[in-house]
Amino acid sequence: MSRIGSCFKRLAVARRKALVPYIIAGDAPGGSVQSTVDCLHSLVAGGADLLELGMPFSDPMAEGPVIQRGHERALAQGTTLLSTLEMVRSFRCDDELTPVVLMGYSNPVLRYGSGSFATAAAAAGVDGLLLVDMPPEDSAELPAELKAAGIDMIRLAAPTTGAERLHDIAASVSGYLYYVSLCGVTGADSLDVEATRIKLAQLRRVVKQPVCVGFGIRTAAAAAALGELADGIVVGSLLVDKLGQLASGDSRTAAAALHDLLAPLRAALDGVGEADDQLVR
């Protein structure tokens, strides 16, 4: 069983939901490999079950302004696909349990070479890959190469995904399905919990893999509400925004801030205390 599969199995046994934070490789203050690794470890200490690590790209089309600026900061600090893999490799020196999913866009992967990327990513300790701009129709070779390397191919579904297309996506997903909870870019403030509830019920009838919900989750109350519906929640803009605020500081302060942002969401997912709808700060 893959590291992602084992993670969700443990969570199911414990009747807990996955907390999946997203940050961008190289977006931590200083831009060094170690600064991002420190942030990843701090997120785990704050309650993360899986980690999504963004691969910096110049044209992140699905992202709102907050995450776009994070990509720009990472690229300005010289982060590359190779250094991103080095971050995962370094993280694995002290954490062999927490799954790491690389999230991004197809251009860097295809330029590297899909087969070579799969081999290098597996050697670094990557567990999953999510490419926003590579639908099933455009990914004939890569899923097979990832599968051979032991890496899950994470897929996206959205509120506009029709029934026939959902069957195609369900047939090609492994690890988990990432459900985009709204029609918009990351960080948009238009989350509709009831609409998400209805769509997730439809997804459950088709998708056999765990389902995580992302886009627009910025409060403990939203995390708790969606945690009741899905197998996990993904939080990104909230964390990347904080890294932007602390960009001129030091990596230890940034890592500690990420921990403190994530902890209330973890508590809300676990039903500890009273979750409110105030932006986590």
Q: What is the pLDDT of residues 215-260, one digit of tens each?
A: 777 788 888 888 888 999 999 999 999 999 999 999 999 999 999 9
Per the confidence metrics, is the pTM higher than 0.85?
yes
Residue among 50, 58, 113 nearest 80 (CA): 58
At 128, list the tokens.
């999953």
Residue among 19, 22, 26, 20 nearest 236 (CA): 22
CA–CA distance, 136 with 275 (Å, rounded to integer): 38
What pLDDT is recorded for position 273? 46
What pLDDT is recorded for position 278? 53
- Based on the number of CB atoms within 10 Å of its own CB, is 278 exposed (0-12), middle (13-18) or buried (19 or more)? exposed
What pLDDT is recorded for position 277? 55
CA–CA distance, 180 with 233 (Å, rounded to integer): 10
What pLDDT is recorded for position 272? 62
C-alpha torsion sign, points 42, 43, 49, 50: negative
What pLDDT is recorded for position 191? 62
Q: Which residue, chain included where needed, has tokens 């459950």?
A: 204
Architecture of the domain spanning 3-269:
Alpha-Beta Barrel (3.20)
Residue pair 64/237 in contact (Cβ under 8 Å)? The answer is: yes
In whole angstroms, what separates CA 15 from the centre of its chain? 21
With a cut of 70, list the residues of the chain below it in pLDDT.
139, 182-191, 272-281
Q: Which helix (H) or strand (E) holds 199?
A: helix 193-204
CA–CA distance, 134 with 173 (Å, rounded to integer): 12
What pLDDT is recorded for position 201? 83
Q: Residue ranges of the domains in the chain?
A: 3-269
At 79, list the tokens.
């982060």
CA–CA distance, 129 with 155 (Å, rounded to integer): 9
